[in-house]
Amino acid sequence: MKDTTKRELLTLMGRFLEKQDMLNVLTENANLHGYGYSEIHCIKAIEELEAPNVTEISRSLNMTRGAITKITRKLMTQGLIESYQMPDNRQKIFFRLTEAGQPLYEEHEKRHRQWEKRDLMFLNHFSNQELEKFASFMSEYNAYLQAQIDELTEKK
């Protein structure tokens, strides 16, 4: 593959990310306004994990425990989540959504279903073989990006 083709691919990937961001802004519900990606996905993890503590949330979101601690403190201050302990384990602190946090989870799930429905219609235009090649490319690219993240995280 020529360098010009590689650069064109990188340009197209950049445009893809810009358009995804634009669609997110255009479809954003007022309920989610003011909350970042990490905060909303932390809320999702708390609702869906069996035992949502800092360690499990950080594993689920592939973020540091320090980052999750900061996010959970903020969400608690805003009254969106609350902490609790198990009667038989007073060492670990777990989280659950409050009544105020539940609508954020539900809105995120609604938007996720809309995004999935919209983009599945587009993907239906391609053969399974084409999709398998693309999925392989994306898996390898995501692994490469994760290695870059891990390397930068280790340096800090």
Q: Which residue has the higher pLDDT, 87 or 133?
A: 133
83-113: pLDDT as tens digits:
999 888 778 999 999 999 999 999 889 988 9
20-45: pLDDT as tens digits:
888 877 776 656 667 888 999 999 99
The residue behind tokens 């994306």 is 138
Q: In this structure, is the dihedral angle defined by the CA atoms of residues 134, 135, 139 and 140, taken in order, positive or negative?
A: negative
Q: State yes or no: pLDDT of 156 exceeds 70.
A: no
42-63: pLDDT as tens digits:
999 999 999 999 999 999 998 9
pLDDT score for 35:
84
Would you call 64 helix, strand, or coil by DSSP? coil
- How many angstroms from the chain centroid is the CA of residue 33? 16
Q: Does domain 3-125 have CATH number 1.10.10.10?
A: yes
How far is the first Cα of the chain from the last one, in angstroms, to the nearest whole number?
35
Confidence of residue 66 (pLDDT cuts 50, 70, 90): very high
- DSSP E strands in 76-144: the ranges are 81-86, 89-97
Contact 68, 46 (CB under 8 A): no
| Average pLDDT of span 108-128 | 92
pLDDT score for 36:
83
Q: What is the percentage of the chain residues whose pLDDT exceeds 90?
A: 60
- What does the CA dihedral 22, 120, 142, 155 come to, rounded to 10 degrees? 40
